[in-house]
Amino acid sequence: MNSANDKTDEEWKKVLSKVEYTVLREKGTERPFTGEYWDHKEKGVYKCAGCGTELFSSETKFESGCGWPSYYDAIDKSKIEEKIDITHGMRRVEVLCKNCGGHLGHIFNDGPRDKTGLRYCINSVSLDFEKKE
């Protein structure tokens, strides 16, 4: 079996739901305030839904009012990749899982000023959650 970063589109389609495939592989976006984790408050770790890599902690999650899960930092920045995204007439920074290349969302400079000042705006469908005590 191929590793997460060299699966074919057909292999991804077999392991991801249609909406997961649209967001993770085709860079889609879920509608705001509809995702499973936008208002999620449990303690734990948010992992890439494509490959299981631990990406964000509930400790850095905050309510941004944007309708998507928001974090002011990643667990380990070496696990994510940032790319300039100029689609939709905007210049943004896309956030991807470094392990599998899955589209997670975008990063903005309007996060908590007393922390990193960053807002990782992430699609719920790009994430799985593992509860931790």
Catalytic positions, written as ranges: 121
* Distance of alpha carbon 87 from the chain centroid: 18
Distance (Å, rounded) from C-alpha 83 to C-alpha 96? 8
How many of the other CB atoms lie within 10 Å of CB of 109?
A: 9
Distance (Å, rounded) from C-alpha 57 to C-alpha 15? 24
Q: Is the dihedral of CA 126, 78, 87, 107 positive or negative?
A: positive
Q: Is the dihedral of CA 108, 86, 55, 34 positive or negative?
A: positive
Q: What's phi and psi for 115, nearest 5 deg?
A: -115, -115
